[in-house]
Amino acid sequence: MEEKTKIYILCGFSGSGKSSFLKNISAFLAEEKIGIIVNEFGRVHGEGKVYRKNGINFMVRKNGSVSCSCKISSIADALMEMAEYSLKYVFIERQGIADFENFRRIMDAVSAKKGDIYDYRGAICFIDGLYFMDQMENPQVVRKQLEQCQLAVINKVDLVGRNTAEKIKARIIEANRSIRVEEAQFGRFDYKFLGEDLFGIHAKACEDAAAGIGSKPQHLILRYDREMKKAELNRFLKEASKICIRIKGYFELEDGWNLVDAAGGSVEYKPSEVSERGSILVLAAKPGCSAAEEVKRCWDKTIGKKMSLAE
């Protein structure tokens, strides 16, 4: 059976790094046949044979890759045309807030005419590290942007301090606790997501956290960038459970990555195939306590190693 073409949607506000990413990923996948669809205000760069079909200008490069620039209403036609080239990946760039409901309808239309040839692998939201905190002045818009994405990429981390980067990560996870977060410079980051299922084993800050934690008055995000012994982490979780309603996340232990879930004094560990760049826990603290101070006290008492903690 022929392998399906993997599709990724790229969204994010102007200047967040989508165009830089497309340029870099094209070079990274130079030996593969890929498709690129950009928004109506963009331009397709490069050399190749140009032709027009259904009102859309297409460019076919020497290696069989296909690019075009079209309006969202023409994406179905573009995908049907690209179906003839047996592409490995297709990247669709959208400005601002992506309309995922409309995209599902587009995919249904393409499948009806071309068959089940495309595999939607997830949405990637690009974040402008310099202006994200300003954009959070309108949190509803940012939240709507993030809540349906599987991967968030904070671009321009070289231009912001570490404290700012951590605050941005915390706000992203606040909006979507099951999103994976990567950091980038000039649109470059680890492209290992191409071999992963962003809907399945992508790094989650806290799987099912919305159901488990909901909108409790205080929650914190703890990050740790080294491996830890399970017994060591267990001491912290037992101590922190005295002030927390729920603690859940992913941690790298001596036996590999584990999904960690602590509540009411009990701790559960489940092996996970998650691939992260550092362990992360979401802690829902009981109302009325100085959450950050108390969690830090528990950590220093039981672990005593460097970690980061954000509200």
CA distances for 46 relative to 24, 32, 38, 43, 60, angstroms: 13, 16, 14, 10, 10
Do 144 and 184 belong to one domain? yes
Q: 105 in a domain, yes or no?
A: yes
pLDDT in tens, 9-55: 999 887 888 989 999 999 999 999 999 999 764 556 678 898 999 88
Element (H, E) at 9: strand 5-11
> Residues 121-140: what's their mean pLDDT?
86
Print the domain residue range for 259: 209-310
Q: 200 in a domain, yes or no?
A: no
pLDDT in tens, 55-89: 898 999 988 999 998 887 789 999 999 999 999 99
In DSSP terms, 66 is beta-bridged to 35, 60
pLDDT in tens, 298-309: 999 999 999 999
pTM score over 0.95:
no
Domain boundary among 137, 166, 195: 195
Do 190 and 215 belong to one domain? no
Do 131 and 276 belong to one domain? no
pLDDT in tens, 203-236: 344 444 434 434 444 778 899 988 999 999 999 9
Q: Check residue 274 and give its pLDDT.
A: 64
Q: Check residue 106 and give its pLDDT.
A: 87
Q: 102 in a domain, yes or no?
A: yes
CATH of the domain at 220: 3.30.1220.10
Domain boundary among 195, 226, 257: 195
CATH of the domain at 54: 3.40.50.300
Residue 146 phi, psi dihedral angles, 5° rounding: -90, -30
- Please, where are the H alpha helices in 47-99? 75-82
